[in-house]
Amino acid sequence: MTQPENPQQAPSKPKRSSAAKWIAIVVVVIIIIAGVVVVVTYHPTTPTKKTEKVTLSAPLVYTSTKIATTNEPISFTITNVTISPTNVTWNFGNGYYGYGSSVTYTYEYPGNYLVEVNYTYGGSFATNILSLYPITVSRNTTTINSTFSAQLTNPLILFNKTTNPTAPIFNQSASMDLIAGYLQPPTATGWSISQFTWTINGSTFKGQYLNTTANETGLYPIILNAITSNATSSHSNVVEESVFVRQTNQAAGILKGKGNVMNPNLITNAEVVPGGPYSLDPQIDWETVGMEVIRNVYQTLVAYNGTSTTSFIPVLATNIPSVANGEISSNYLNWTFYIRSNATFANGLPVTAFDVYFSIVRELLFTTGSPGTGGYTLAQALLPGYASGTPGFNNYYNITKAVTFSNSTQSVTFHLFKPVPYFLDLLADTPSSIMEYQWAVQNGAGLVFTPSGFNAYMNESNAPDYNLYLQWHTMGSGPFEVSQVQQGESITLIPNPYYHPPAYGFPKSNYTVVIDYVKEASTAVLMLEDGQADIVSGLPTSSIPSVQGLESTGAANIYTFSTMTTYFYPFNFDINETMLHSIGASYVIPSHYFANIYIRKAFADLFNYSEFLNDIVGNAKFHMTLGTGYVGLLPPGMLGYKPENQWENVPSYNITQAKEYLEMSGNLSTVVNFPMFVQSGDTTNYAAMAMWAQVIHSVDPNITATPVYITFSQMIAYTAVNQNPMPIYDLGWGTSIPDPINMIPPMYVAGGFYPSGDGIESASSLAAIGYPNEAQNFSLIGNLSNEAASNPNVTQRALEYQQANQLGINMTLYLYTYIPSGMWIYQSWLKGVQYEENPVVGGEVDTLYCYLSK
């Protein structure tokens, strides 16, 4: 047991004013004097009537909000009383008190609080301890700048539910087993968590784990202080949690919603994605973590109809255009959309055709952004120079010819240069999200509609020139708006007060949503067990037994489904050695080391695929299919898919073949020492890379590789063109369009999302550094992809994509790891999860919170 150290003073209770004491004294004196007068003057003939006790109803609590931020005043009112109560006392669950039927209180620290209220009438007393009122307070991040935030950690108070199943309600003298969790450690260079300090009733303890005894009865706080520091400075970050310790035979409980639901107005998702999203700007962000927020805040003209990948519903559009209704031309080159008149942004302004026009123009201008953006999806249909890589293809002339609008009819028309049968898929994707133009102007993102204005605006799609306000603030017309952002730690969504749902789908929500980005999977599981999280996602497969244990007791549900998501390790053809040295001075590797095809093939043949799937992913270990092997970029359900054994040149675990490739590479005597980058918290791929590195080193001792954790958002940032220091890294692709058009071009075509970040901006760039065969193959893939994109013959189109896919497999551009089985893990009280199954909504990992309820 941890021993208490020097007591630290807990927050003091507010004192009554001296004026109140003098009033009490005056009242007492008057009563005494009056009593003397009565005695002297009167001789009553009947005895004094005693005060009778009456039965009082248990009070209830009404508040202005159940979900608040620090420094936000909350009004509390006692209700469910049939008489005028006297001596109303409030205990706010943090050691502070208030008095009166209606009070206002402001919490200083974030935490989960319980509020007790009691009152008297005559000689009777009533209290709400059977239904203590819960209040959730989050940190107000508006006063925290990103530099300071990076030096902090957000602590969590977690209870061991095995030993404390009724926490935060305890019996007197019971053991309290507490765990100090945290969302993420500090991300600022040189900063780390140095200490956790607990304060309970004036006693102070140190350590991440605390076992103590609940000696004092009543309602009071547990205070956890997470101290972070570097060589010269330190910061404290406090969180509180109310506990109620009941006396012998005393009953106590917490007010819950229907079905015994915790925090009935709040949905919390604990995502094991350290670092959180890269951006919230829909025309910049092209990764699933940021897309989740974007999908809940912004809207597109159309969307997929529920779980269908072939049927669409209008969202901002009044209807789906067709040739029959005259909104698609007979040659399928002109598509007109009329804007729904009651669609409204979160600032109360209506969505107009010009807002749509601006957002689409912005998307096309940002097609060439770095790190890669999603604008290429729409550019394939609207800008003829994109496919051939013509410089300046997204210029003023081409864009204004491709998209036009009408203020008088509130419509937008797209002018395609070729028929595209999947055009609605492109418009349903997050890069085509609609942003309010005046808000963008007010925050420095206005666009000058001239050729020079367009050229200048393109710069804002590159990381050094991002509009930082738009990167972390939003203005959409979706069911939610962003209320709080603590970069890398958490994002809070609240209902959009001006939201008007479309005729189909995307209902209005009354819930506040908190998305916590958690570093440790164990923390996320504890949050689920403790009731602090309704959903957990991003868990490594090693956490499955813990979740299965919760499911067996009815504490959680596991919902599985198939996916089109692919995971892989890219090989970087052009490593930024300068940046790599800044990450680790001992790292040494030639910049074009992995441009050598025989090095890539050798590495691919040194990966033990069966051990990875059976023991590390855990198919055999956990007796369930958590992932399946694959090769190429046409997953099951995609046009052109073929089973793994029907492709040629498929890598396999073959040490003899790998040695031959190493000899053919001409690099057997080359000494290299480099990191393999893994997303923080991803213990599955960390173990896989450690296994891989060991085998590689055993075959060639000149090669030393070490898995290294970095945050997801930092990994995305590193993929900027000519800036990527990662020789090998762990990422994936969750297709948002169920067509090879969103697999082959971004993954296999030179200049695509991944190739551009891995040093393959064009086929000619490979020829220039001495790899003409790779250059020729990339040219062939580009030609096949372009032909397939506009081919109306489905059979021929599938064949062209298969040929492109085979060329990609031949070049071993990636080490293909697995296709995961989709898995939703959530509290048993959460409803609506069945609406989250669409395999192309953020690669089936994003949650549409408007469908969820408790």
The overall longest dimension of the chain from CA atoms, in Å, is: 121
Question: Cβ of 722: how many Cβ atoms within 10 Å?
Answer: 11
pLDDT band, residue 43 (cuts 50/70/90) = very low
How many helices and strands in the chain, by DSSP H and E? 24, 36
Letter string b/e over residues 328-340, b meaning 16 or more CB atoms within 10 A of that residue's CB: beeeeeebbbbbb
Place of tokens 């003939």: 45
Mean pLDDT of 673-693: 96
For a pLDDT cut of 70, what percent of the chain falls above it?
93
CB–CB of 580/589 below 8 Å? yes
Q: Is the dihedral of CA 153, 156, 162, 164 positive or negative?
A: positive
pLDDT of residue 470: 98
pLDDT band, residue 307 (cuts 50/70/90) = confident
Mean pLDDT of 269-282: 96
Mean pLDDT of 761-765: 90
Kindly calculate the radius of gyration of the chain based on its CA atoms and give it in whole angstroms.
31
CA distance 565 to 27: 76
pLDDT of residue 187: 86
Would the pLDDT of 15 be above 50?
Answer: no
pLDDT of residue 705: 98
Would the pLDDT of 18 be above 50?
Answer: no
CA distance 768 to 771: 7
Complete DSSP assignment for 667-719? -TT--EEEEEEEETT-HHHHHHHHHHHHHHHHH-TTEEEEEEEE-HHHHHHHT
Looking at residue 368, what DSSP letter applies? G
pLDDT band, residue 52 (cuts 50/70/90) = low
pLDDT of residue 841: 86
- Residue 802: CB partners within 8 Å, gap ≥ 6? 634, 640, 642
pLDDT band, residue 694 (cuts 50/70/90) = very high
Mean pLDDT of 145-160: 91
Q: Point out the least confidently predicted range of 89-103, 243-257, 820-834.
A: 820-834
Domains in the chain (CATH in brackets) are: 1-20+54-255 (2.60.40.10), 288-477 (3.90.76.10), 566-820 (3.10.105.10)
Mean pLDDT of 411-432: 96
pLDDT band, residue 53 (cuts 50/70/90) = low
CA dihedral 310, 311, 317, 320 (to 10 degrees): 100
pLDDT band, residue 822 (cuts 50/70/90) = confident
Q: Where are the beta strands (DSSP E) in 438-596?
A: 480-486, 490-495, 512-517, 535-537, 557-561, 566-570
297 to 14, 447, 483, 506: CA distances (angstroms): 41, 22, 11, 11
How far the first Cα of the chain sits from its last, in Å, is 39
Place of tokens 């303890």: 205
Mean pLDDT of 782-803: 94
The pLDDT tens digits of the residues spanning 535-577 come to 999 999 999 899 999 998 888 999 888 889 999 999 999 999 9
- Three-state SS at 431: helix
Highest mean pLDDT among 91-105, 143-157, 553-567: 91-105
Looking at residue 139, what DSSP letter applies? -
For residue 847 the two structure tokens come to 């949650």
Letter string b/e over residues 127-148, b meaning 16 or more CB atoms within 10 A of that residue's CB: bbbebbbbbbbbbebeebeeee
Q: Point out the least confidently predicted range of 4-8, 50-54, 431-435, 668-672.
A: 4-8
The pLDDT tens digits of the residues spanning 777-787 come to 999 999 999 99
Q: Point out the least confidently predicted range of 5-19, 305-319, 327-341, 397-411.
A: 5-19
The pLDDT tens digits of the residues spanning 576-627 come to 999 999 999 999 999 999 999 999 999 999 999 999 999 999 999 999 999 9
CB–CB of 152/237 below 8 Å? yes
Mean pLDDT of 6-28: 32
CB–CB of 561/836 below 8 Å? no
CB–CB of 148/142 below 8 Å? no
CB–CB of 845/838 below 8 Å? no
Residue 168, preceding bond cis, omega within 30 degrees? yes
pLDDT band, residue 6 (cuts 50/70/90) = very low
CB–CB of 413/379 below 8 Å? no
CB–CB of 538/702 below 8 Å? no
CA distance 317 to 313: 9
Would the pLDDT of 147 be above 60?
Answer: yes
Would the pLDDT of 691 be above 50?
Answer: yes
The pLDDT tens digits of the residues spanning 427-485 come to 999 999 999 999 999 999 999 999 999 999 999 999 999 999 999 999 999 999 999 99
- Residue 21: CB partners within 8 Å, gap ≥ 6? none
Which of 843, 813, 817 has its CA nearest to residue 748?
813
CA distance 807 to 809: 5
Sheet holding 672-679, edge to edge: 703-710, 672-679, 728-729
Would the pLDDT of 82 be above 90?
Answer: no
CA distance 723 to 98: 57
**674 forms bridges with which residues in the sheet?**
705
* Residue 538 C-alpha from the chain's centroid: 10
pLDDT band, residue 1 (cuts 50/70/90) = very low
- Three-state SS at 38: helix
The pLDDT tens digits of the residues spanning 167-223 come to 999 999 999 999 999 998 998 889 999 999 999 999 999 999 999 999 999 999 999
Question: Cβ of 422: how many Cβ atoms within 10 Å?
Answer: 19
CA distance 727 to 172: 57
Q: What is the pTM of this model?
A: 0.86
Which of 269, 305, 273, 478 has its CA nearest to residue 841?
305
- Residue 24: CB partners within 8 Å, gap ≥ 6? none
Percentages (nearest 5) of helix, strand, coil residues in the chain: 30, 25, 45
Helix ranges (DSSP H) in 42-187: 146-149
pLDDT band, residue 17 (cuts 50/70/90) = very low
- Three-state SS at 631: coil
Which of 808, 78, 739 has its CA nearest to residue 426?
739
Question: Cβ of 681: how many Cβ atoms within 10 Å?
Answer: 27
pLDDT of residue 465: 97
Looking at per-residue pLDDT, the higher value among 111 and 17 belongs to 111
CA distance 805 to 824: 31
Mean pLDDT of 330-353: 98
Complete DSSP assignment for 822-844? EEEEE-TT-B-GGGG--TTSTTT
- Residue 444: CB partners within 8 Å, gap ≥ 6? 467, 469
CA angle at 527 for the pair 521 and 530, rounded to the nearest 5°: 140
Place of tokens 């990103």: 146
Q: What are phi and psi of 101, to 5 degrees?
A: -65, -35
Q: Where are the beta strands (DSSP E) in 27-142?
A: 60-63, 67-69, 74-79, 86-91, 97-99, 102-105, 111-121, 124-127, 133-138
pLDDT of residue 240: 98
pLDDT of residue 843: 62
pLDDT band, residue 138 (cuts 50/70/90) = very high
Q: What are phi and psi of 799, to 5 degrees?
A: -65, -40
- Three-state SS at 111: strand
- Residue 538: CB partners within 8 Å, gap ≥ 6? 271, 272, 273, 521, 524, 681, 845
pLDDT band, residue 3 (cuts 50/70/90) = very low
Would the pLDDT of 9 be above 60?
Answer: no
pLDDT of residue 585: 95
- Three-state SS at 646: helix
Mean pLDDT of 660-687: 95
CA distance 566 to 637: 13
